[in-house]
Amino acid sequence: MRLKHGALAAVLLTIALLAAVAAGCAKEGGVTSASPAAAASTPGLKAAMVADIGGLGDRGFNDLAYAGLQRASKELGVQIEVLEPRAPADYARNLTKLAAAGDNPVFAVGYQMTDAVTRLAARFPGVTFAGLDIVFDPLADNVIGLSFKEQEAGYLAGVVAGTLTTRTDVDPRLNAAQVVGFVGGMKIPPVQRYEAGFIAGVRSVAPGVRVRSVYTGSFSDARKGSAAARSLIAGGADIIFAAAGVTGNGAAEACKRERALFIGVDADQYETIAGIGDTILTSAVKRVDNAVFVTVKAAAAGDLKGGENRVFGLAEDGVGLAPFHEWDAKLPQDIKDAVAKARDDVVSGAVTVPETAAHSSP
């Protein structure tokens, strides 16, 4: 099975455009609602989300989640609302506000809201809370965990990086050190799964390539991302994969300045980082929009059930690899073939990608 770059590009570009609209209309007051006309086709159903720190306009995780709500508004006619916290202390307060207002389902965007959702589920038994990037344990009857096999997308990114870093003839930015880098935000399971998959992917095609990782402790500090990338580049890394939100954008800009190559995350970052050009090879994408939409669709049909942790991987179109864009003509065909084979092997079960980096070590 070949990767369908053109089709995926069109979908992700649509998501990026939707996200830009979201950013423009949501910042005023921190709340966004669908128009009354759009809501009329599903009376009474209101779906809402509390964004993670960084809010709408991050051109990543929050915008992707909101794109799923927007699709539900357009196709299903549900009302939608968004609250944007300024600090982690706002998480519980914002979730409470939405639940008390009758919004249902209520999406908590990000692992850091795990405790807040767990506490509030008992207080609002009639509301279904859906936690994005969260696996709940214990799992209440009115809670749904929506997580992703980030390791599978990271694995494909690792296959690209591991093969390309050994091919110094392809591009002058590739050096002979055979080192690639990973920049993480906070050490939370989704980011660590990206790292684990990336390491495993590199090792699957190039066991001799070293993978160096730096965690910045932030998803919203571009300067920290830039500093982390510069330190990796100084240590020989010529390709850097960042899973760090806005912090990762700083890593991308450092790669551009220091003439290294970059792999993005969550959204197709070729579309979201202005002027990134051929600095970016591809992105390990996470289809948060799909997870949100199918959850709201089930609610609209009266079929939404809590008490479940759902996981979206390559087989469920929950993760994947973005197009190569400006690298499409330059990337050797054997590398594209290796990526396609890796995808097929994961989907078929021939390869199981580890979730922790410790399991990826040679």
Q: Report mean pLDDT in 10-residue bins for the chain, 362 residues.
A: 39 41 37 39 81 85 94 96 94 97 96 95 97 94 96 98 98 98 95 97 97 96 98 98 95 98 96 96 95 95 94 94 98 98 98 81 38
Query: In this structure, what are the phi and psi dihedrals at residue 75, rounded to the nearest 5 degrees?
Result: -90, -30
How much is the pLDDT for 178?
97
Residue ranges of E strands in the chain: 46-50, 79-83, 106-109, 129-132, 143-148, 179-184, 210-215, 237-243, 261-266, 280-286, 308-312, 319-321
Q: Is 262 helix (H, G, I), strand (E, B) or coil?
A: strand
Q: Mind listing the pLDDT tens digit for each residue in 276-292?
A: 999 999 999 999 999 99
Complete domains list, the chain, with CATH: 5-148+288-312 (3.40.50.2300), 150-286+332-360 (3.40.50.2300)
Q: Is 6 exposed, middle or buried (0-12, 13-18, 19+ CB in 10 A)?
A: exposed
Ranges of H-type helices in 280-330: 288-300
Count Cα neighbours of 93 within 13 Å in the Cβ-side half-sphere. 7
Cβ atoms within 10 Å, residue 36: 8
Looking at the DSSP assignment, which residues form a beta bridge with residue 201? none
How much is the pLDDT for 60?
80
Cα–Cα distance measured from residue 259 to residue 82, given in angstroms and rounded to the nearest whole number: 39
Residue pair 169/331 in contact (Cβ under 8 Å)? The answer is no
Looking at the DSSP assignment, which residues form a beta bridge with residue 215? 184
Query: What would you report as the CA-atom Rg of the chain, rounded to the nearest whole angstrom?
Result: 20
How much is the pLDDT for 44?
73
Q: Is 344 helix (H, G, I), strand (E, B) or coil?
A: helix
Closest CA to 83 of 49, 60, 58: 49
